[in-house]
Structure 1
Amino acid sequence: MANVRNKERPLSPHLGIWKWGPGMLVSIVHRATGSGMATVGAALLVWWLVALAAGEKAYERFVDTFTVSSGALNIAGYVVGIGLTFALFQHMASGVRHLFLDVGANFELKSNKTSATLTFLFSVVATIGFWFVILETI
C-alpha cells in the first residue's frame, strides 16, 4: 500500500533545478560551521583533558601546538584557531540573520541577498580583527 503513488501529485524538484544564491550558501555554511565547531571543539576539549591528565610533557606539547614556542610559529595550530574563529563569527552572523527571518523580516529578494553576503563579509572582517588584536598582544 505504501508503494502506491498518486500520479496527479507533482514530484518535489531536486537541487539541479534551483538557482543557487547567497541565501542557500549561508544556510548550508551555517549548518557546516555549527557541526564543525561542535566536532572540532569536542576533539580539542578531549585532547586538552587527556594532556592535562597525562602529565607536564603531554600538556606542554598541547600548548606548543597552539602557541608560539621558542620563537617558532606553529602553522597547524593557527590554522585550526583561525578556522574556528571564522566558523564562530560566520555561525553567529548567520544566526542573527535567521533571527530576523524568523520574525518575518528580510524576505525581500534584494535585502535577503544583501544580508546573506554581509554575513560572510562580517565574519572575515571580525576574524581578521580578532586575530590582529590577539597577535598584537603577544
Structure 2
Amino acid sequence: MSQSPATQAPIRRERPLSPHLTVYRWPITMTVSIVHRITGGALYVGTLLVAWWLLAAATSEQQFSFIDGIVGSWFGRLVLFGYTWAIFQHLLGGVRHLIWDTGAGLEKHTASRLAWLTVIASVVLTLALWALYFFVGSAT
C-alpha cells in the first residue's frame, strides 16, 4: 500500500551554512574598525615600553644602557616602527570616527574611501617619520 501525501514525512532540506571567515570578503570599514581596536590595545603595551625607557633614563646609566640596547637593536627598532604605525593608524581611525560623529561620510562609498585613506595615510606618515629619523640621524 502506498502512503497518501498527507502522511508522508516532509522532505528535509539542508539549510545553507553561513560563510566562513576564509570565504567571506571583509569590507574595508570592518577591517579598519577591527585594526583600530587592536592598535588601541597595542598602544597600551608600547606605552609601557616607552615609560620603562624613560624611567630607566631617570634611574641610572646602567639601567638606561640596558633598555637602550634593547630599543636600539633590530628587533627594538622593528617594535618601535610598529608602535609608530599603531599611533598613526589609531589617531587617523579616531579622526575618521570624529568625522562620522558630525554626520558626514556615512555613505557606504564615502566610508570605504575614508577607511582606505586611513590605512594609506598611516603607512605614509610612518614611513615619512622614519625616513626623517634616519635622515637627521645620519646628518649628525
TM above 0.5: yes
Which TM-score applies when normalising by structure 2?
A: 0.74
3-state SS in 2 of match to 1:66: helix
1:79 aligns with 2:78: yes
Aligned residue number for residue 48 of structure 2:
42
Aligned residues: 118
Alignment RMSD (CA, Å): 2.3
Aligned residue number for residue 68 of structure 2:
63
Which string of whole-angstrom CA distances, capped at 9 and with x for unpartnered residues, describes residues 33-87 of structure 1?
A: 111111221244135425643x3222112122223xxxxxx21111111001000
How many percent identity over aligned positions? 33
Residues 1-138 of structure 1 mapped to structure 2, 5 A cutoff: 20-46=26-52, 48-50=54-56, 52-53=58-59, 55-67=60-72, 74-138=73-137
Counterparts in 2 of 1:47 and 1:131: CA distance versus 1, 3 Å: closer
Which has the greater radius of gyration?
A: 2
Counterparts in 2 of 1:61 and 1:37: CA distance versus 1, 3 Å: same
Residue 111 of structure 1 deviates from its aligned partner by 1.0
Please list every run of 5 or more consecutive structure 1 residues that lacks an aligned counterpart in the other structure: 1-13, 68-73
Please list every run of 5 or more consecutive structure 2 residues that lacks an aligned counterpart in the other structure: 1-17
3-state SS in 1 of match to 2:103: coil
